[in-house]
Amino acid sequence: MTIDAFLLSRIQFAFTISFHIVFPAFTIGLSAYIATLLGLWIKTGDDKFHLLARFWTKIFAVSFAMGVVSGIVLSYQFGTNWSRFSSAVGNVIGPLIGYEVLTAFFLEASFLGVMLFGWKRVPPWLHCLSAFIVAGGTALSGFWILSANSWMQFPAGHEMRNGIAYPVDWVQIVFNPTFPLRFMHMMTAAYLTTAFVVLATGARHLVAGKNVESAKTMVRMAILMIAITAPTQAVIGDFHGRDTAKYQPAKLAAIEAHWDSSKPGALVLFAWPDEEAGINRFEISIPGLASLVTHGSMDALFKGLNDFAPRDRPPVKIPFFAFRLMVGIGLLMIAFGWVGAWLWYRGKVFEERRWLWLAQYTWPLGFTAILSGWFVTEVGRQPWLATGVIRSVDAVSPVTTLQVAISLALFFCVYSVVFTAGILLINRLIDKGPDQTMTKDPPEQPSKRSLKAVQGEASALFGDGSPGDDKIQPAI
Amino acid sequence: MEWYLPVIWAVLIGTAVMLYVVLDGFDLGIAILFPTTKDEGERDQMMNSVAPFWDGNETWLVLGGGGLWVAFPDAYAIIMPAFYIPIILMLLALIFRGVAFEFRWVAKPHHAKWDLAFWLGSTIAAFAQGLVLGGMIEGIKAEGGQFAGGPFDWLTPFTLMCGVGVVCGYALLGATWLVFKTEGPVAERARRQAKKLLIGLMVFAVIVSIWTPFAHPRIAERWFTPSNLILLWPFPLLTAFCGYMVWKRLNGPHEFTPFAFTIGIFLLCFLGLAISNYPYLVPPKLTIWDVAAAPSSHIFVLIGVSFLLPMILFYTAFVYWTFRGKVRADSGYH
């Protein structure tokens, strides 16, 4: 492996996109959460929801800013570092990115202003609507970018002429085969990740004995979300894996560290894949289980890595280990959510200090799972940039090694400073908790109709501070 | 190939770039003027005058870049590597300035470094955009659909001057915006600054107008062929008129018109550059037809643009309307 513009450009893209994805993943989920809170506030008139919405909106603002600025970098990097890719697939992927900007970015960016600064300027229903629009915008953005990414994983609806992809059928391009499940998988991941951040924040406040009421609401809402979405995510992930088996057999073989197609695939729990020798060392595995999971039968045969010429194989170790990390975290999330739900059902969720104490450290789980998932899918796509269309090595710009080395170093320094500062500031905001002073001057009631009747529903679900709720005592 | 599709797209992307320049121009501009006051309240007021808009404004930059890729993939593939260093610089600078909007408030009272990031990030971003503008006018070496020049082709006295010119122009937009949106000492000072910046921008426009026809015969031919001259003479005249009006209105009590006429100057200069270079998108050789995407791609996105762009303009206007009126020293959003 030589250090050249190609290798450095790959590192630069991996570095910048890894930083970036953390923020959209969080803001997709958080905008939906804030919209939900505002909706509950309007429906119940309970200021608790309003307080929480304001609290999370501050955190949202900082995260969104970091997502925007790190995202602009990516939209330009296609050209600066991967210009041959831009020419080869521009006819097909360009429009998808174009639609992302037109349908999503403007929507988010414009209504973000209303959402962040419109508390006193617009009526509550419009403010709430803005939050829903922002949440919808972030999801739409995910729709288009995942469509583009999925097209690169398994291109469809195009034809090749002189090394350039030309569109033939736009429906097939947008809804390419691996897109629907990848989209669902990523969206669910985003909501789940945010739920864990909300849970950890609530738990942190409860353990510290501050903002008890709002913290309880956060914990309840998060448990509900996790207990449902974490297992759902496992099911979606399973179907998504079958897509991979069907459309990207080389990636699947790397994920499973499956070398020999004459035998059914074993579910490898641990191994050290030896890419030189084409075998696994120190393997611990369950025979036939990988075949069962991906192809529905213990005896099913599927392609092994040895069926692919070395130049057509993805690297094995990264997809292999990253996949195990992702699945491991996923199982942990399910367990954590269900234990929480069980405790809640028993009415002990705020008494079981050990669970709460653990919960405050769960916020990195979702982010780690998302990053490892993306490492699986992106490294597993190699050596292609767009499978069968253009290889990564043929896609790099005619720029010098020195240029890319300098830009990579600059990105490294700037991101270290800016994102460290951002995360520390978010941490400070989370620590501070909802600004209790704001309840003293609540904005006008969201609705003129009598709300006593409907007040019950959401409050019953998430607690309204009735006597039984107050069992937790401040720690000190 | 349908000859008109690339023309439509060139107009669309031109519009997006123009909107970007005006909209992000004024919010980069207020940041460029940040060090001219030390008073924290005044800085808050300046920043608040653009806080609800900056994100939407910057999205036009994404549309400009993304749109170029959509409509003219080969131009995108040539231009981006050609300006590798200025573009990366611009992106890094925009990171600093973008996060400063949020970090500054959260970090208070320890926000001095984010004030610096806001100012320096905005100034460098504007300067880098000037470098790219100058480099585009001077032309890019391309072969076989790819960039074929060196890493520092963009670094010339002309491009450096363009960098200074754009910083000055954005600062003028920022100053006139402050005259429009603020009151008190901030607006007073902006009114004084705007005059100096106006002189700077007009000098820059004159230099570019003289320099480029001398350096590039194709531009001289475009403007000074008698048949063209008859059509084009109003352009410099109108530009001078707008400049005069900015000056005059700054002397009076007018609040909005200096900003409006500054936009006029920008619009005319932009049109002038377009006239100089049409039909080349990557001067000196590649026209908009040489680098266009497949017609099917053009049409596919055009269908969306036809109803999405009016919607975007509508709700952008709605946001500006929501936050209409003066930003006073005490009316922070945070």
Residue A365 has pLDDT above 90, yes or no: yes
A473: DSSP letter? -
How far, in Å, CA of B94 to CA of A418, rounded? 12
The predicted pLDDT at position B332 comes to: 53
The predicted pLDDT at position B331 comes to: 55
The predicted pLDDT at position A454 comes to: 41
Residue A267 has pLDDT above 90, yes or no: no
Distance from CA of B47 to the nearest CA of A (A): 13
Residue A467 has pLDDT above 60, yes or no: no
Helix (H, G, I), strand (E, B) or coil at B171: helix
**Which CA distances in Å does A268 have to A264, A289, B35?**
12, 9, 61
Half-sphere exposure of B222 (CA within 13 A, CB side): 17
Q: Does A113 contact B106 at a Cβ distance shorter than 8 Å?
A: no
What residues contact B92, with CB distance under 8 A and at least 6 apart? A410, A411, A414, B124
Helix (H, G, I), strand (E, B) or coil at B138: helix
Kindly indicate the confidence band of residue A276, based on its pLDDT and cuts at 50, 70 and 90. Answer: confident
**Which CA distances in Å does B63 have to A23, A98, A102, B227?**
21, 7, 8, 36
> What is the amino acid identity at position B26?
F
Q: Does B69 contact A79 at a Cβ distance shorter than 8 Å?
A: yes
Q: What ipTM did this prediction achieve?
A: 0.87
Q: What percent of chain B has pLDDT over 90?
A: 47
Residue A458 has pLDDT above 50, yes or no: no
Residue A119 has pLDDT above 90, yes or no: no
Most A-contacting residue of B298, B318, B319, B320 (CB-CB within 10 A), to test interface: B319
> What is the amino acid identity at position B244?
Y
- The pLDDT mean for chain A works out to 86
The predicted pLDDT at position A181 comes to: 94
pLDDT in tens, B132-154: 999 999 889 988 888 888 889 99
In this complex, the residue of A121, A411, A422 whose CB is nearest that of residue B322 is A121
* Spans of all domains in chain A: 5-447
Residue A7 has pLDDT above 90, yes or no: yes
What fold is seen in the domain B4-322? Formate dehydrogenase/DMSO reductase fold (1.20.1630)
Residues in B closer than 8 angstroms to A425, CB to CB, are 102-103, 106-107
B144: DSSP letter? T
Opening angle at CA B18, ends B14 and B24, nearest 5: 140
Q: Does A109 contact B301 at a Cβ distance shorter than 8 Å?
A: no
Kindly indicate the confidence band of residue B196, based on its pLDDT and cuts at 50, 70 and 90. Answer: very high
Opening angle at CA A143, ends A37 and A420, nearest 5: 65
Q: Are A349 and A285 in contact (CB under 8 A)?
A: no
pLDDT in tens, B227-263: 888 888 888 899 999 999 999 998 888 889 999 999 9
Q: Which two tokens stand for residue B234?
A: 């109003």
Interface contact A109, partner B, CB < 8 A = yes
> What is the amino acid identity at position B148?
A
Closest CA to B223 of B93, B162, B214: B214
In this complex, the residue of B91, B103, B308 whose CB is nearest that of residue A76 is B91
The predicted pLDDT at position A147 comes to: 95
Distance from CA of A445 to the nearest CA of B (A): 21
Kindly indicate the confidence band of residue A315, based on its pLDDT and cuts at 50, 70 and 90. Answer: very high
Task: Give mean pLDDT, residues B47-54.
Answer: 86
Identify the residue whose tokens are 């009076």: B252
For the CA atoms of B152, B156, B158, B162, the dihedral, rounded to the nearest 10 degrees, stands at 50
Residue A289 has pLDDT above 90, yes or no: no
Q: Does B70 contact A90 at a Cβ distance shorter than 8 Å?
A: yes
Q: What percent of chain B has pLDDT over 70?
A: 98
Q: Are A130 and A33 in contact (CB under 8 A)?
A: no
Residues in B closer than 8 angstroms to A141, CB to CB, are none
